[in-house]
Structure 1
Amino acid sequence: MAARVGDAAALRRALDEAALVVAAGEVGEGLEAVRCAVAAEANEAGETPLLAAVEKGRLEVVVELLRHLDAQGVAAEANEAGKTPLLAAAEKGYLEVVVELLRHLDAQSVAAEANKAGEHAAALQRYRQNAEFFVCSCVGKGAVNVPRTPGGIMYHQRWNNLQFVTSASFLLTAYADYATVAGGGAVRCPGGAARPYEILAFVRSQVNYILGDNPRATSYMVGYGLNYPRQVHHRGASIVSVRTDPSFVSCQEGYASWYSKQAVNPNTLDGAVVGGPDEYDDFADERNNYEQTEAATYNSAPLLGVLARLAGPCGGLDEYRPSLPAEAAANRTARLAAARRRHPHLEVEQNVTGTWAVRRRTYHRYSVTVTNRSRKTVRGLHLGVSELAGRLWGLDKARYGYVPRRWLRALRPGRSVRFGYVQPGPPANVWVTGYKLV
């Protein structure tokens, strides 16, 4: 029971108590030998603790049980259907459990497992081919590739496109780790091998886009960054809180009185991921634009797993990345540093955050940061931009140049305003045309 429900502490107590009982009866076996026997004992249904824990994905219990079982016993253990722990974990998709079992088994035992799975080899191979076709198509190395916007995000449809981005990113993240554990490495694609660190690097680019590294310099996670959707299509967020106004709001009144208000939501829906931009990276922050501003749990849920992986102890990328020669690293750094200007009180910095090719032209995504380096608040900031080949995102056009969005009219000391644009060739010329210190 402890193995099935995942209670590792109860399992340890049960093993210790059983060993002590046997030892007290003056049986000539050592305590550890008794623990091994108890850990391998099957119940009336023929299910051992290890199989019960594996079937439920109880990683902590599996680790505890493997401390008391040898490789030969684990490899031979099977249920009435002939399914071993390793095969059960693989079929369930419990990657961490598979990793622990592989660490415990020797090469001979793993080979025996492979022979047992021979009858399923053809089906498993088809699954693998389909999975790798998907991976190759997402990272841009397939025979047919997933379309992307000019800013680099995967694009499937206008209505809530980010649900597909976060879900695909989760699958890519899991498969990158699986490819490493399963032997080696690279996913074979028509356009060349996709190595795990490359897959994870692509995933990170998608996450960075969602969080604000995009042509509009907009975070599509509500509450994250300085520039995020303020009119989310969400009834609870767009109607005033009962703590602020306790009067009753009917369903019809909520729609008639609040839905069409041209104002920011009175409640910030922190952490929600909205539908996101269209195929040209355009986005309209309007409450009635439900295709782009509606938030959904199936947008956020896969992203949570991806963020956990990328923020893990390994950093998400470097554990698989080959070391770069010093010259290549220096060239990469030189390409990223595009431009920097200092003013008496403001600093303007431009960086290349993405590069890709479309129809034999190389495009760069530029991110511009204007930071208040003074000890006073900056108001009335105006910026000039020239040599711009297309649109920019994150600023409003004014009579003379560009100004920050209406909710960022003041820059306190140390604060920044960010915007971006996409164009081929060198960066645009950006400068400060005017501001006031207050």
Structure 2
Amino acid sequence: MIEKKTIFSLSSGRPPAGVAVVRVSGPAAGAALLALGGRVPPPRRATLVRLRDAGTAIDDALVLWFPAPGSFTGEDVAELHVTGGPAVVAALLRALGTVEGLRPAEPGEFTRRAFDNGKLDLTEAEGLADLIDAETEAQRCQALRQASGGLRTRAESWHARLLSVLAETEAALDFSDDEEDVSTRLVEGEGPEIMALVREMEDHLGNYHFAERLRRGLTIVLLGAPNAGKSSLINALAKRDVAIVSPEAGTTRDLIEVHLDLGGVAATLVDTAGLRDAAGAVEAEGVRRARQRADESDLVVFLLGPDDREAHIPAGAIVVESKADIRHGHADTRLRVSAVTGEGLAALEALLVERADALVGAGQDALVTHARQRDALAECRDALATAFEEHDAVLRAESLRLAMRALGRLTGRVGVEDILDIVFGRFCIGK
């Protein structure tokens, strides 16, 4: 058997920084510590060690040693906490590269080894990737629940119950000569349990779209006629100048995006070209992109300028009367805002937070957050539903086996080799 190479990488942020953490994982991790520091410290005890490269001091490092299998990857792991200067980090990585059996890690390779060694399943790995990418509090909570084994625990429970049903079905086939008796046992015994599993899986699948919106963030598109105040509004909501504001109609030709945190929900606010019969090919393309992005968005905010009397407003859009500072008369039921005076901005932000929460609210506690997870769980549910309806005992058992395999794909234990590179490729080098 060919021994795995030991990998190393910077696992903290890019220098310069106060402290940099370099991680080493694999069978030669201990040898690397001996080569650079002259000793291997006691397990899980932070120890100050002077690291050297061919006798030349690199830095005084805080070293941690995690012997297998009690580490993140399940292998021998060393962590070297050094001064986070570019020269120190470069010297340490260069020295590690000279140790026999070591090579630089590839993106996601530490987490991939943890998966291969059974330290976490595929749903937990996906949750960890989401945790790294999380920008808001709601995304952090959702990702942490996944990374901590929320879906894994539920899948293991389903697996145990499904295994029991399959064992009962197989036993009935092996020890009963009466086909009618086997069918009766399904109705009175395994049947209710199968349907209970189907209903539980359907409940989790029902919240997937909310959870997926929460994970990826919402897209909110500003629409309106030229000079309706879209660019001024996006600047006001972003609290910085991201779009050019001009009295000239048609200034915005392309899509301009800014990221917002709406009460813990990540959102991308998109400024678009004014909707009109365009004067030229470039503006016409901008109008086409605006309409297309609005069709694909989670929410539309439609701005009506003081002179905009007629407009085709998309269903479900938030309608806002802009430029409140130059309007006369009382507002109707619509919200009025002014990017100049700030009137109505707080109310609009509160309304956006409310609508964002409605779009993702049911996903706050959801466990199924990725399309891959949804597809595997839906396949399992469908196979169980087929097993419940199947009168032929042999075909019923086969449907239960298909359900078991689909559940295995959910956690990454069965038939997922073709997607592993995609999943772990999302990680940065060092994770």
**TM-score, normalised by the number of residues in structure 2:** 0.24
Higher relative contact order (CA closer than 8 Å, sequence separation 6+): 2
The structure richer in helix per residue is 2
